[in-house]
Amino acid sequence: MKKAIVIGASSGIGRALAQVLSENGYSVGLAGRRENLLHELTRELPTPSVVKVIDVTKTNEARQLLRELIAEMGDVELFVLSAGVGFVNPTLDWAKERDTIDVNVSGFTATVNVIVDYLESRGSGQIVSISSIAALRGHRAAPAYNASKAFMSNYMEALRNRFHERGLPVVVTDVQPGFVDTAMAKGEGVFWAAPAEKAARQIFSAIRKRKEHLYVTKRWRLIAWIMKAAPDWLYHRF
């Protein structure tokens, strides 16, 4: 049976993707902060799962717990990094900026480094990171969020380059969703918000095809093109 670990499996895209992976025959390691939600999820999955409570902001502890989870599962070939936070923060409230950096930058880097070490010793595998279309440009409403997602996407590109230089068949998949109907996409009537299950199924399709990049849902490719092409004077109006 194939094995995968989803970090950030207690809710949102991570939870939905864990369900899709299990439906497709994967044994899934479920990592996240909220133990009750992880155990609730494991009862819903058709394949065996292992729960490990991990708070990625406690970086040293998180790294050790992730190593333990890998050892408990044995021969894990797929890792999904879906832990993330984000705030609309035009006032630059430091607590919100700090929390975003702690999870999306420090926590991400601490855990992905453990994964890289493991997959390099294993010799193959796949890393999937749930970034955001917000990675494409900075925005005044959420400076730390956009910047942290840009960090993630850039870091994933660096890892892809690293594995290529070492001649290792490790696939690095950078997923950049638009709005997905999760707790992070706050507010009613959010533009083009996709159900988490739909997003998860598109991500799983990209995993099977061993793609290196994906916009979710696919129509967000148009928005990405507009964002990247827009001159500063136009972009700053939005």
Active site residues: 145
Phi-psi region of 75 (alpha: psi -120 to 50; beta: other; left: phi over 0): left
- Alpha carbon distance 183, 168 (integer Å): 37
Residue type, 95: A
Name the 3-class secondary structure at 10. Answer: coil
- Alpha carbon distance 61, 78 (integer Å): 21
* Beta carbons of 66 and 7 less than 8 angstroms apart: yes
- Alpha carbon distance 121, 115 (integer Å): 10
DSSP class of 27: E
Residue 80, token pair as written in the block? 């999904």
Residue tagged 């879906």 (tokens)? 82
Question: Which helix (H) or strand (E) covers residue 176, if one does?
Answer: strand 170-177
In DSSP notation, 137-167 reads S--TT-HHHHHHHHHHHHHHHHHHHHHHHHT
- Alpha carbon distance 13, 196 (integer Å): 5
Q: Supply the Cα-derived Rg of the chain in whole angstroms.
A: 17
